[in-house]
Amino acid sequence: MMTTATEADVTDPGFWQDVLANLATFGWDLLTAVVAVAACVLIAWLLRFLIRRVVKRIVEGAKSKAKVDDTRALERSPLASVRVVQRTRTLGSILTNIVNVMMVIVALVLVFSILAPNVITSLSLLTAAVGAGLGFGAQNIVKDVLNGIFIVAEDQVGIGDVVDLGLATGVVEFVSVRITHVRDVNGVLWYVRNGEITRIGNMTQGWSRVVLDLTLPKDVVLEDVESLLTTTAQGLAHDPRWRSRVIGEPEVWGLESLEGETLVIRLVIKAKPTAKDDVARELRERLRAVLLTEGIDVTGIARATLEGAEGALRVRGANPPTLTSTLPERPTWRPRTPDQPTTDQTADGRDDEKEGDA
C-alpha cells in the first residue's frame, strides 16, 4: 500500500511560523537583490558620468587651446587637437558600451547568487557550454570585438574621420566594439562589422596633397611659367584666409609630359585633408586668372590622382639634384709606357723601387 504525503495542517501555529519565516527570508533576499541591482545601476551611472566628464574636459581643453568655440572650428587648429577630440569621443563611446555590458552581467550574477545560490554552483557547466558556444557559433563575434578593440586602441579610426573600409566609404559616425557606422555622401548609413575590416584608408589623418596638371601651349617659357605658378600658389598658402588650411610650401614638379601642341606642368600643394577640395578649387581659380592675365592660353587644369607605383614613388615629392658646383674630373686608366715614372717616385725624381734594389 502506497503512502501519500500528509497535508499541512493550517490550524497548526508552527505552519504559519514556517510560512512567515520563509516569506521573511524571501523578502530579505529580494530586497538584497534589488539593492544589488540598484547599486549596479548607480555604479554604471557614475562610471558613465565620469566618462562623459572626462571626454567633455578633454574636448573643452582642445577647443580652449585652439581658441575656438565650436568643435567644427577645430579644423583650423593643429591636427593633434582634432585627433585628440576624435579619439577621445570614440574611446568614450567604447567605454560606455563596455560599462553597460559589464554592469548588466554583474547585476545578473548577483541576483542569481542571492535568489538561487544553487545556480552559481553549476557555473562550471555553464562556462563549459559558453566556451563551446564561443568556439563554434560565436567566432565572428569574438573576431569583431577583438578587431574593434585594436582599431580603437591603435587610433586607426575616430568619430568624424572620412574612411574607406573597402565595404563602405564615408564619415564615421559611431564606433563600437563590434560594429562601425559609416555614413556615405548619399546619406546611406552602413553598418560594418569590425571583423570584416581587412584594410582602412583614413582620408583625414595627417595631410593630403592636391596635384594639378596644367595643360599649356608648347611655346611658353618653362622657367617663367614655373615661377608664375610658384608665386601664385605661395600667395594662396600665405593668404590669411587659407593659410590655416595649407600645410607647407607648394611645389612645382616641372614638365610632366609633352603631347602634340601642348605641354603639361604639374603643381602640388599639401593641405589639411578636410580642406583638400576647397584648396584645390581656389588654387585652380587663381591659376586660371593669373595665366589669362599674362596672356597664356589655359587649355586645361586637371586634378591628377597618383596610384600604384607612380604614387608610391612620389609620396615624398619630387627631389631633383640641387648641386651646382662642378664635380672633379673622373680619373681614367691609361697603360704606362716604359719611360713613364711610377706614382711612387720621390720628389728628387728617383724611383723608390730601383733605389731599394740598389
List pLDDT tens digits, range 240-264: 888 888 888 888 888 888 877 889 8
**Residue 8: predicted pLDDT:** 57
pLDDT along the chain (358 residues), means of 10: 50 66 75 84 87 77 59 49 66 78 81 71 65 68 82 80 88 85 91 90 84 88 89 90 86 85 89 86 91 86 78 74 59 63 50 45
**Residue 1: predicted pLDDT:** 41
Cell numbers at residue 81, please? 587637437
Q: At what angle do helices 276-293 and 222-237 cross, to 10 degrees?
A: 130
**Which one, of 251, 233, 231, 252, lies nearest residue 242 by Cα?**
233
> In the chain, how many H helices and how many E strands?
9, 9
**Residue 346: predicted pLDDT:** 46
> Exposed, middle or buried: residue 85 (CB in 10 Å: 0-12, 13-18, 19+)?
buried
**Residue 189: predicted pLDDT:** 92
Phi, psi (deg, nearest 5) at residue 194: -65, -30
**Residue 358: predicted pLDDT:** 40
Q: What is the dihedral of CA 261, 306, 227, 245, to 10 degrees?
A: 140
**Residue 14: predicted pLDDT:** 66
Rounded to 5°, the CA angle 77-78-83 comes to 100
> Exposed, middle or buried: residue 356 (CB in 10 Å: 0-12, 13-18, 19+)?
exposed
User: In the 8-state DSSP scheme, what is residue 249?
Assistant: E
**Residue 283: predicted pLDDT:** 92
Question: Left, alpha or beta for 104 (phi > 0: left; psi -120 to 50: alpha)?
Answer: alpha
**Residue 332: predicted pLDDT:** 60
Q: How far apart are CA 327 and CA 239, in angstroms?
A: 41
Alpha helices per DSSP H over the chain: 13-66, 79-115, 117-121, 123-136, 139-153, 222-237, 276-293, 308-313, 352-357
List pLDDT tens digits, range 319-337: 776 655 555 666 666 666 6
Q: How far apart are CA 103 and CA 101, in angstroms?
A: 6
Tell me how far the alpha carbon of residue 261 is from its chain's centroid.
44
Q: Which amino acid is at 140?
A: N
